[in-house]
Amino acid sequence: MSEHEEIESRRRFLKLAAGTAVVAAVIGSGLPRTARAQDLPHVAETDPTAKALGYVEDAATTKDAKHQVGDACSSCQFYSGGASGYGPCQIFPGKAVNAKGWCVSYSRKS
């Protein structure tokens, strides 16, 4: 192998190694985050914090006077999940709330 071929071979190896590192970093940072959000335990209405905040799984069932028609976790600034199902809420760290839920800490996303 000539010196030129050896240098080209090293360049190809370094490019491949760099590309592999980028792919590993993307997979390492993206997939576990998604998996974690889906795996969060759901907030129960019987949870002491949930009770104190009047959290309900279905906003339509609350009798709290602060609730306005249409308000639900999915439109709250503390919610970071999808429009349906469950997602993380900053008020309940490490747990997920129902997108259709509601509590007295509700604050509409701006």
Residue 106 contacts ligand SF4 per CB under 6 A? yes
In the set 42, 45, 95, 105, which binds ligand SF4 (CB under 6 A)? 105
In the set 40, 56, 76, 96, which binds ligand SF4 (CB under 6 A)? 76
Stretch that binds ligand SF4, among 10-18, 21-29, 62-70, 97-105 (CB under 6 A): 97-105
In the set 67, 73, 86, 100, which binds ligand SF4 (CB under 6 A)? 73
Which CB, 42 or 78, lies closer to ligand SF4? Answer: 78
Residue 86 contacts ligand SF4 per CB under 6 A? no
**Between the CA of residue 50 and those of 11, 41, 98, what are the distances in Å?**
58, 13, 12
Distance of alpha carbon 17 from alpha carbon 32, whole angstroms: 23
Q: How many residues bind ligand SF4 (CB under 6 A)?
A: 13
Contact letters (x/-) for ligand SF4, 39-68, by CB under 6 A? Answer: ----------------x-------------
Residue 101 contacts ligand SF4 per CB under 6 A? yes
Distance of alpha carbon 33 from alpha carbon 50, whole angstroms: 25
- Minimal CA–CA distance to 16: which of 26, 27, 28, 24? 24
Strand extents, DSSP E, 40-102: 86-89, 92-98
Collect all residues with Cβ–Cβ distance below 8 Å to 30 and sequence separation of at least 6. Answer: none
Distance of alpha carbon 105 from alpha carbon 66, whole angstroms: 10
